[in-house]
Structures are given as C-alpha cells and as structure tokens.
C-alpha cells in the first residue's frame, strides 16, 4: 500500500504564496459563515481521528480483533488525509475552500510534518509489516502532539474568520467543537485502557487516563444537564437530548471496566474487546449528536 498522504511540499499549492496567487478570487467568494463553520468542525474532527488511529493500532497489537482494528485504522487514515489535504487544497465534496491565510497555513504545515511521519508507520502496519515497540512509542508521542497542533489549527481558523461567523455563529461553532472533543475523548480513553492493559508506562499512562476520565465525565454531564458557567447549554433539541441519553447509557455500561483499570485493576482480553466495541457504540451516538446539531444550526449541506 502506498502512503495515503501527499506531503505539503509536493502539493501544487503547497506554498502559501502559490495558493494565494492561484485562488485569491475563489477564496474571497467562498468564505462565509457556513463554510467557516464546516472548516472548524472538520479541523476539530482530526483530533478524534488521530486518537482513533492510535487506539486501533494498540488494540490490533493486543489481539483484539486485529483485522477489524486494521480496517478501522485504514478508514480513519483515509478520512484524516482527505480533510488534511482539503483544508489547504479545497475539497468540493467536503465543502472546503482553498486556504490562503498565512497564519492558518503555518498551523497546517506544523501539523503536516507530524502527519507525514505517522502516515509512514500506519501504512506499513496496514500492509502487515511489524511495528516495533520503539515505533509504537513514537506513534503515541506523535499522536499527542498532533492533537495539540490540530487544536492550534482550529484556533487559528477561528481567530482568522471569527467575523464571518458573528457572535452567535461563533458560539455555535464552539459548542460543536466541544461535542467533537467528546468523540476524541472516547477514542483517547479507549486507547489508554489498551495501553494500561499492555503495561505501557504504567504511572504516566494511569495519570493521563485519570485526567481523560475526569474530563470525559464532566463534559458528558454538562452536555446532558447544561453548564452555564462554562457556556454549555442544555441539549438544544429533543433529538439531541435523546442521542446524548443513549450515549450516556452506553457509557454507564462500560465505565466500571474503565474505572477498575484506572484504579490499578487488571483487564482480560474480553474486557478489552468490550471496551473496544462499547466505545464504537458511544462514538456512533456522538456522531448522531454532531450531525443533529449541524442540521439544527444549518451547518450541514
């Protein structure tokens, strides 16, 4: 399998100046409230996909339905790369316009450097090549940095185009970003369950998992009940409330396994398989929440 990603340095519009010259008129007409909201949502989704790839590789290495995990890894890679390239080149199917702003392009290029390295390892894993412990540790470190740089990219987009969204639109985009962060946290938490079960840097992983678990619980409760002090409203529609309730019920079902492992307990292969599948079910419900909110706010096509 060839590497999915074409690095920025070989893009026809890989340089900020080239993109600006080639697409100035297009960008000027394409940037509106809807397209900026879509851009923020897709850029934020990259954090979830980053964690999903690392999680899938970990479960595959742990013997939890390896073939299915590799399929999920490949799907996440393709989705990540399509958005990654579309954020600069433009992508009609994803409603992404060509980027011309130097600050946004710089943030994108900082992310692209890491994606180039991650993609190489993941592509070999999909081809069936062994991934060494050293490479796996590198993947985990790169994944955390990708999450940070994806956050930076979202922040740059939000800063650059805030006036296009207006005050109300910016609030909607932020709530959508928080919903999407919950999707990322579900994948990150599942990854950390897998890492702890493998005995990977136990103290460090346990501490990271405790923080993830706290944020996951706090955020989900805020979505269900509202948290005005943090600017989080109650579910904005009955359908969103129902989807959040379903997600919460799924979480209640497998939280004891996660909590036990976080407290120093052991996890069997069946425990890992349960966490892996329940995480998928939770993600599907959160996908529904995101889609319903996009539809409600007119952010979807």
pLDDT of residue 41: 87
In a domain, 178, yes or no: yes
Q: pLDDT tens across 103-118, in order?
A: 999 999 999 999 999 9
CA-to-CA separations, 75 to 81, 227, 287, in angstroms, rounded: 10, 34, 16
Domain count, the chain: 1
pLDDT of residue 158: 87
In a domain, 301, yes or no: no
In a domain, 2, yes or no: no
Q: Confidence band (pLDDT; 50, 70, 90) for 3? A: low
Q: pLDDT tens across 168-222, in order?
A: 777 788 898 899 999 999 999 999 999 999 999 999 999 999 999 999 999 999 9
For residues 276 and 64, the answer to whether their CB atoms sit within 8 Å is: yes
In a domain, 54, yes or no: yes
In a domain, 1, yes or no: no
CA-to-CA separations, 143 to 48, 111, 137, 206, in angstroms, rounded: 10, 11, 10, 17
pLDDT of residue 265: 86
Q: pLDDT tens across 38-68, in order?
A: 888 899 999 999 999 999 999 999 999 999 9
Parent domain of 273 = 8-296
pLDDT reading at 22 higher than 80: no
């Amino acid at each position: 399998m060839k590497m999915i990603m074409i690095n920025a340095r070989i893009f026809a519009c890989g340089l900020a100046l080239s993109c600006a010259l080639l697409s100035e008129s297009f960008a000027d007409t394409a940037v509106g409230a809807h397209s900026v909201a879509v851009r923020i949502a897709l850029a934020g989704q990259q954090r979830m996909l980053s964690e999903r790839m690392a999680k899938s590789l970990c479960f595959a290495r742990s013997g939890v339905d390896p073939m299915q995990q590799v399929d999920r890894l490949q799907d996440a890679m393709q989705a990540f790369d399509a958005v990654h390239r579309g954020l600069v080149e433009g992508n009609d199917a994803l409603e992404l316009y060509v980027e011309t702003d130097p600050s946004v392009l710089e943030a994108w290029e900082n992310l692209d450097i890491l994606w180039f390295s991650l993609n190489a390892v993941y592509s070999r894993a999909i081809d069936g090549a062994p991934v060494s412990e050293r490479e796996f540790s590198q993947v985990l470190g790169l994944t955390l940095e990708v999450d940070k740089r994806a956050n930076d990219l979202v922040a740059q987009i939000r800063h650059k185009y805030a006036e296009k969204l207006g005050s109300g639109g910016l609030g909607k985009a932020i709530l959508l970003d928080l919903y999407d962060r919950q999707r990322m946290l579900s994948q990150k938490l599942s990854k950390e369950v897998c890492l702890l079960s493998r005995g990977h840097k136990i103290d460090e992983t346990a501490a990271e998992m405790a923080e993830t678990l706290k944020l996951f619980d706090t955020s989900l409760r805020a979505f269900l009940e509202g948290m005005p002090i943090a600017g989080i409203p109650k579910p904005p529609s009955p359908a969103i409330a129902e989807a959040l309730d379903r997600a919460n019920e799924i979480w209640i079902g497998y939280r004891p396994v996660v909590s036990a492992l976080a407290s120093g307990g052991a996890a069997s292969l069946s425990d890992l398989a349960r966490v892996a599948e329940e995480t998928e079910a939770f993600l599907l419900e959160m996908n529904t929440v995101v889609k319903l909110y996009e539809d409600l706010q007119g952010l979807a096509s």
